[in-house]
Structure 1
Amino acid sequence: MTMHSRGLEFLRDVDVRLSVELGRTQMKLKEVLALGPESLVVLDRLTDELLDVLVNGKPIAKGEVVSHNGRFGLRIVEMVGVEENAADDASVSLPDSDAGITGA
Structure 2
Amino acid sequence: MSEFNPSQFHRFGAVAVRLSVELGRTQMPLRDVLQLGEGSTVALDRLTDELLDVTANGRVIARGEVVAEKGRFALRIVHLVGEDGQDVPPMPATADAAGSAAPADPAFGAADVL
Report the TM-score when normalising by structure 1.
0.71
Q: Distance in 1 between matches of 2:62 and 2:9?
A: 22
The Cα of 1:51 is off from its aligned counterpart by: 0.7
Report the TM-score when normalising by structure 2.
0.66
The Cα of 1:83 is off from its aligned counterpart by: 3.3
Quote the RMSD (CA, aligned, Å): 2.4
Relative distance call for 1:67 and 1:83 in structure 2 (3 A) is closer
The equivalent of 2:3 in structure 1 is none
Q: Which has the higher helix share?
A: 1
1:88 aligns with 2:91: yes
Q: Percent identity?
A: 56
Q: Write out aligned runs for 1:1-104 (5 A).
A: 9-81=10-82, 82-84=87-89, 87-88=90-91, 92=108
SS of residue in 1 equivalent to 2:74: strand
The Cα of 1:11 is off from its aligned counterpart by: 2.4
SS of residue in 1 equivalent to 2:73: strand
Render the CA deviation track for 1:63-91: whole Å, top value 9, x for unaligned.
0011111111110000112532xx30586
Q: Which runs of 4+ in 1 moved over 6 A?
A: none
The Cα of 1:9 is off from its aligned counterpart by: 4.4
Decide whether the 8 Å contact of 2:79 with 2:88 is kept in 1: no
Runs of 5+ unmatched residues, structure 1: 1-6, 100-104
Amino acid at match of 1:83: V
Corresponding pairs, count = 88
Runs of 5+ unmatched residues, structure 2: 1-7, 93-103
